[in-house]
Amino acid sequence: MAIADNTPSFIQKDRGEIEPVELFFSPHVVPDIDFEVLGLLGNMIPNRCLLEYFRMPPLEVEISKCIRKLFAWHDKLQEQREEQEEEPIPDEVLPHLWIIATYISDELLDLFNAKTQPPEWCEGVYFTKEWFKTGIVSINHLPNIPDTLWLRLLGVGDVQEKAIEQFIILPKENPLRSKVLNFIGNWWNNTQEEEDITGEHEHLLEILYPIYQQWEKENADCE
């Protein structure tokens, strides 16, 4: 999915059970976004970036492909500037890559020489050498704090279950709570009515059922 102008389109590649999700993000396309409310996620996306989400732990080759994809985007952006007879984009302004995975092994982090950068970034956030312009988020290593909630919702097992519990009890005045609640509630309602539900969707329906129940309850209270 591309949330940006003049960027590559959504690409979803089959990897057996679970498909990695790719998002080209440009914040100027959603100017009303409140980065502070997003916590850690907001700190990751104040500028154009490529987000790659893996529900299954990524392989070395998959991370390498993500980095190559980022450089291909860089080339495309520079070509556009050249066609418009404008100055090249400085290296420090070119988009960054964020790999978000439910789990990243220490061996894989070592392979890419990815290190933490405290105190600016919390545990679970790693950075490769500067020239790769790549950050890696291992969701299972994130601290259980409000700032990491929106990323922990993408986790699996206990990490995701705790995040869902914390999401449901967020204050109703939270600006993102109602948007996410409505999105998930409507998705759950529409998906469970489909005749041919995929195994992955069945799994998601089960995981997100508590949020759907909360959405249904609050809608009933408003009637």
Whether residues 104 and 6 share a domain: the answer is yes
User: Model-level pTM?
Assistant: 0.83
Token pair, residue 106, equals: 């220490």
pLDDT band at 24 (very low <50, low <70, confident <90, very high): confident
Single-letter amino acid code for the residue at 110: D
Model confidence at 112, pLDDT cuts 50, 70, 90, reads very high
Residue with tokens 């869902």: 164
Do 46 and 122 have their domain in common?
Answer: yes
Residue 162 in domain? no
Residue with tokens 């790769």: 132
143 and 187, same structural domain?
A: no
Q: Label residue 29 by pLDDT band (50, 70, 90).
A: low
Domain finish residue from 115, 132, 155: 155
4 pLDDT band, cuts 50/70/90, is very low
Of the three residues 130, 155, 180, the one that is the final residue of a domain is: 155
Q: Which domain holds residue 213?
A: 170-223
